[in-house]
Amino acid sequence: MSNASGGETTTSPSVMFTSAAGRSLFATLLISFATFNIRGLGSCDDPDDIHSKREQLGTDCLRYGIDICAIQETKVVKPDSCSLSNGYKLVLFEQKNGRHYGLGFVISPRFIDYVVCWNSISDRVSFLDLELPTKSGKLIKCRVVNVYGPHKKLAENNQQLLINFYSQVRDALNVPANVEIFVLGDFNSKLGKMTVSDK
């Protein structure tokens, strides 16, 4: 799906799950996830500009009912976090190796209070940790991993880049067994039949 920000969005239906922390009907949660390669997010020079690309991102998340949106290719170098005018929180991670990548999250108001931390492993891998309370008072621990894989040409010219990327993904997935894991992002994969140029 494309939207006003100019990129492409992939949304998943609301994910329904019941954790081992409380297997009852009341422990069931609905979370709507999305991932979005935004192809540049611009600056926040005028935070009051409701038409800025950052504000439009929050508007799109609200329109589609998204709770957690993983964003890639922000092209933002310095880390930042801010509240958007509709209550969504925008988190942007630092880029250490250039300006062409960049990761972040957009978090809905109903989940902000349950965020434990966010962290960047590299320019291509980051994660968000949440603890969600159940009716029984127990906590469901979740990790949302955001990835931006190297495209084919980069990987062919630098095999170590691909090795490092999947090593970083494994690091992000290295959590205790009682943590629910969700992987979002842009793996730069190709699906479908190979063409002559792909062979």
Q: How many CB atoms lie within 10 A of CB 197?
A: 5
Name the β-bridge partners of 192.
none
Pairwise CA distance, residues 182 & 184, whole Å: 7
- Quick one: pLDDT at residue 154? 79
- Quick one: pLDDT at residue 102? 92
User: What average pLDDT score do residues 100-123 get?
Assistant: 94
**Predicted confidence band of residue 172 (pLDDT cuts 50, 70, 90):** very high
Q: Contact, 104 vs 91, CB < 8 A?
A: yes
Nearest residue to 105 via CA among 146, 147, 52: 146
- Chain centre distance of CA 149: 13
Place of tokens 């998204």: 66
User: What average pLDDT score do residues 77-98 get?
Assistant: 92
Digit-coded pLDDT (tens) for 88-107? 999 999 998 877 789 999 99
Pairwise CA distance, residues 173 & 181, whole Å: 7
